[in-house]
Structure 1
Amino acid sequence: MTRAYEVVQAAREERPYTTQELIDGLVTDFQSFHGDRNHSDDPAMIGGIGWLDDTPVTIIATDKGATLKTRLATHFGSPEPWGYRKAERLMKQAAKFNRPIITLINTPGAYPGQEAEANGQGEAIASLLLTASLLPVPIVSVLVGEGGSGGALALALGDQVWMTDKSMYAILSPEGFASILWKDSKRAQEAAEVMQLTPDALFEATVVDRIVPDTGVDFAADLRARLVPTIAELQAQSTTERLETRYARFRRF
């Protein structure tokens, strides 16, 4: 197995913590919010507010589920349009109350089902990206597993984008890439090497700003210790500086 595909396999493995456990380890007094105020709630997208030390923050995270029932309900971590619209609603709320935003990303991509497409999956992602690009508050995005296509990018328009050492970030899966490029999904390992989807490759290309070791059950505490000073540093910037820096960051690509 190639090194790149080993990373893919590690990114797809079940984590030793659930998404909710990760959130609860990062912040205290987490209050979950539901619904997009238009269609329904999406269990694949967890969102709410909590305290990062003395700082109130908004947390938005994709969730793959922990049981067969919840995995089916979340489409194995693939949000539907109302999930992305919920995320956009919570981001706007964060801006209104001047709360920094932390996103936690672990998704193979947006759900491609017929109902999702009929209800504007692409538009929901595009609207979320536009909103995030203009938000005056700090945004830190962390890829903690799979980061697939626009479904992941929708939550990764941060002032800083981090990855764990057991995560991947790509335009689509290696199997999908191989199927399109070579008409042979069995060449997924080769595709993974070509795609440069590993944390090391993406850090070298400045797509991500930091690689964070996933220490398993201790990961939430370790991540929290890194987020506290980073959020404080971003909050010290003026809004103009923050938006100009964010714009310049993504214009590089």
Structure 2
Amino acid sequence: MRLDGRRSSAALIGLAAAVGGWTAHTLIYLLQPGSLGLPDALPAGMARSAHAYMLPLGLVLLALAVAWGALGVRLWARLGRRLEWATRALQGAWRGRRADLPAGPTTRVRLPASVASLAVLVLPAQLALFVAQENLERAAVHVPLPGLAVLDGRALLVHALVVLVAACVVAPFLAPLARRAQAVEQYEQLVRALLRSYGLSLLFAPHAASQWTSTPIERFGANLWGRPPPSGLLSPAQ
């Protein structure tokens, strides 16, 4: 699994909507008065109600969130390696040496990094998941489906607050990652432009290693003119 391209944004939004929906769903039942409120939101109450699936679902979402964090750390390190590869490509081409670069084009990383962009993207998905959950729960106990009526004022307020808090917590971690990805992509583009403009080999192209032509220094060595002449030239003429 890799955090590349549009799929990274879609996966992030989906996971954030699922975690936020689970949290908001639990809070809404905590706010309900009487026997349907706190007892139904506790583990014992969930096990006896239509919310029995919420406990294992919460554990799965927690594991996915931890895995996503680990992928973010790996992406940060991989962007650093791409930066080093681009630098070595430019230095190696300047000195006439082969650069140690991966074959194939680099991939782009797109992540929503601001609080506003996260909230705007996550809130509709989270509300859609909540409506689907509520209707499926009612269908499981054979009661009339409420449809969109579950989105009352209290539900909308709770979901909006959950999304806002989550965006404020996640954005400070995503913003540096998004800036680093953009900076690395721009630096790689600059290196490609320099290699093309000076007529050097395009080291970022696929299968570039098989098309490399060694330089005279690589072929004959740096001390070519410091070697003694062949012994035949030093012998006296017969």
Tell me which protein shows more strand as a share of its residues. 1
Asked if Structure 1 and Structure 2 have the same fold, meaning a TM-score greater than 0.5 normalized by the shorter chain, the answer is: no
TM-score norm. by structure 1 comes to 0.24
For the pair shown, the structure with the greater C-alpha radius of gyration is 2
Tell me which protein shows more helix as a share of its residues. 2
Larger RCO: 1 or 2 (CA < 8 Å, sep 6+): 2
